[in-house]
Amino acid sequence: MQQQIQFTYHLFHNIQDLKESDAFLLKCARDNTHLAYAPYSQFRVSAAALLSNGKIVFGTNQENASYPVSICAERSLLASAAALFPEAHVQTMAITYHAMQHNSNKPISPCGMCRQAIIEHQKRYGQTMRLILSGETGDIYVIDDATALLPLAFTSTKM
């Protein structure tokens, strides 16, 4: 028997089409791509998140010559948020990038490890997380529930 998994997302063609709070969060993420440390990939990723307490937290990718030691922007953001504001959950996370060797005009999507970390964050707080995925320009995807990106996620309740 063949099964199919699908998900829905909202497509916006530019930042001006987003609601004001989403546009602000995405602009914050875009403004911080220069803080990424990406000497090896030349691919600077930045994330900004609105927490349930109204605070905004940031994360950027931090590379290392020993690649497994590197950390993605999404996971650096989640770690910072949990350490700084352990009682608050991420409501919305905007993720963007600046590719130094080619155009940055397509939406970025979290890697598999980050998708798993995001799902664990949702499980920890019992709240869904919205994602805003973008490049420096071009289309923007808004996903209402991050679990859509990893429908067969590994969790403590699945065997």
Active-site residue set: 74
Tokens of residue 31, six digits: 């403004």
CA distance 157 to 159: 7
Which residue(s) pair with 142 in the sheet? Answer: 10, 132
Residue whose structure tokens are 């990106």: 149
CA distance 59 to 73: 5
Pairing type for strands 140-143 and 10-12 reads antiparallel
Residue pair 62/70 in contact (Cβ under 8 Å)? The answer is: yes
